[in-house]
Structure 1
Amino acid sequence: MSLILTNDDGIDAPGIQALVKAVEISAISPNVIIAAPQDHLSGCGHQVTTVRPLTIQRRSDTAFAISGTPADCVRLSLSHICPDVKWVLSGINAGGNMGVDSYISGTVAAVREAAMHGIKGIAISQYKKRDFAFNWDNSIKWTAKLLPDLLNRPLPLGSFWNVNLPHLQQEAEPEVVFCRACTKPLPVNYRTEGEKFYYTGEYAKREKTPGSDVEACFSGKIAVTQLTINNY
């Protein structure tokens, strides 16, 4: 089984290195290709490049840095790098991608693009509490344990998994919760300086709808939602 690993934080980001380690630990596939943006593109959504050329920089036999978006990376992977890919894994994003974040997230867009081509996918994001550092060791451990389960669960054509890991400082084994995506909007607040508007909305103050991925992740659980291209 061939896997494509990508992200929106860039090929040199610690999150994708954590994903590589998680895949190695889980031993889900010996055939893994990294095809990720050469630059940081967090929040780029499902943007694709059609009016300028894309380049592929070969970092190794199995790693490619692409001068495009996460969706571009999936497109080029399917057409030129690894046409026989069975799964696309995207992440581990440095920050949560819950609920309506999926419309904004390049991490989620990568697996959505895969789903459009009939390829299964998993987007993985690590929520971060303000003023605390990421614990990538936890991210690796939890992801490695979760991947075999998700790859073996039935997943309808056109669907994909969206995973959000909680931010826990202590060594812990958080509960995995399969839940729905929150549909409430992100906080919309701005600070003004003359004619300039600066976004000041606080991510952690978004509404936590009971039974949603936001409520689950914010309460210290691993939130897993099944999304489909039919939702968009």
Structure 2
Amino acid sequence: MKFLVSNDDGVNAKGIKILAEMLKDLGDVVVFAPNRDRSGASNSLTLDRPIRVEKVSDDVFSVYGTPTDCVHLAVTGVLEEEPDMVISGINNAANLGDDVLYSGTVAAAIEGRYLGLPAIAVSIVLDSVKENRRKRDFHTVTYFLKKIIKHVIKHPLPQDTILNVNVPNLPIDEIKGMKVTRLGYRHKAENAIPIRDPRGFKMYWIGPAGPEADAGEGTDFHAVKNGFVSISPIQTDMTKHDFISELDQWAKNI
């Protein structure tokens, strides 16, 4: 089994190093990750310039591009042998609900699925923004992720599906189990934050993500808040199939 590992926190992030080390228990590992933090890059591909790929070691490559660039280049030209599975993470914070629309970590897994490979995105969940500096219990993440990967190897995912896994930042013995969940969603994002650069020009920070709106029983938000590992299946086919018939009638009346 050969694993392709990526993320959006960058090739030097602690999470990706711990993930790669764990995966060596299951097979061969090669890391293709951005040369710097590319959080929020979503599914963007770099199309306006060539992309530098630096070999850091025999099985680690630093890519001057997005997470999607990393997986795309690895699978379509850089690696001599195609990997068997893409694992993206361990993301340094949650990817819950509509976070998946922006997450580079989830995007790397999606790109792997687009290219025909089984794929899993994994993140660690802090209780609040205030806990951002709290020590991450990555061992808990790898403990449960290994179980999930072993199951996926024996029971392959559907061709259009990836798994989005979120693990609470708790010791293993405090995790209550694993739950299959749907994505919740947030209220709209907070307002942009204006600042001034040293020369007085106005600039903006993107505002914080909005608070939870749909976070009830069955959602990923609810699962992790109650001490469960959340496993959400995400499909790459974005078509709203149950609206096609109604839209077809609407289009005929234009």
| Same fold (TM > 0.5) | yes
Structure 2 residue aligned with 1:37: 34
Residue 64 (structure 1) aligned to one of 52, 61, 75: 61
Residue 157 (structure 1) aligned to one of 143, 156, 159: 159
In 2, are the aligned partners of 1:190 and 1:197 still within 8 Å (CA)? no
- Alignment length (residue pairs): 227
Structure 1 residue aligned with 2:237: 230
Superposed CA RMSD: 2.2
d(CA) in 1 for partners of 2:109, 2:115: 10
Matched, 1:18 2:18: yes
Alignment of 1:1-232 (within 5 A): 1-24=1-24, 27-29=25-27, 31-79=28-76, 80-130=78-128, 131-132=130-131, 133=134, 134-168=136-170, 171-182=173-184, 184-190=185-191, 201=208, 205-207=211-213, 208-231=215-238
Structure 2: unaligned runs, 5 residues or longer: 196-201, 240-254
In 2, are the aligned partners of 1:190 and 1:198 still within 8 Å (CA)? no
Structure 1: unaligned runs, 5 residues or longer: none
**So what's the TM-score if we normalise by structure 2?**
0.81
**So what's the TM-score if we normalise by structure 1?**
0.88
The C-alpha deviation readout for 1:174-229, integer Å capped at 9, x for no partner, is 311111122x23452227658766555466x4131320111111221100011111
Instruction: From the superposition, tell whether residues 215 and 231 of structure 1 become closer, same or farther in structure 2 (CA, over 3 Å).
Output: farther
d(CA) in 2 for partners of 1:198, 1:11: 25
Report % sequence identity: 26
Task: Determine which structure has more spread, i.e. the larger CA radius of gyration.
Answer: 2
SS of corresponding position for 1:59: strand
d(CA) in 1 for partners of 2:160, 2:127: 32
d(CA) in 2 for partners of 1:118, 1:191: 38
Q: Which has the higher contact order (CA 8 A, sep 6+)?
A: 1
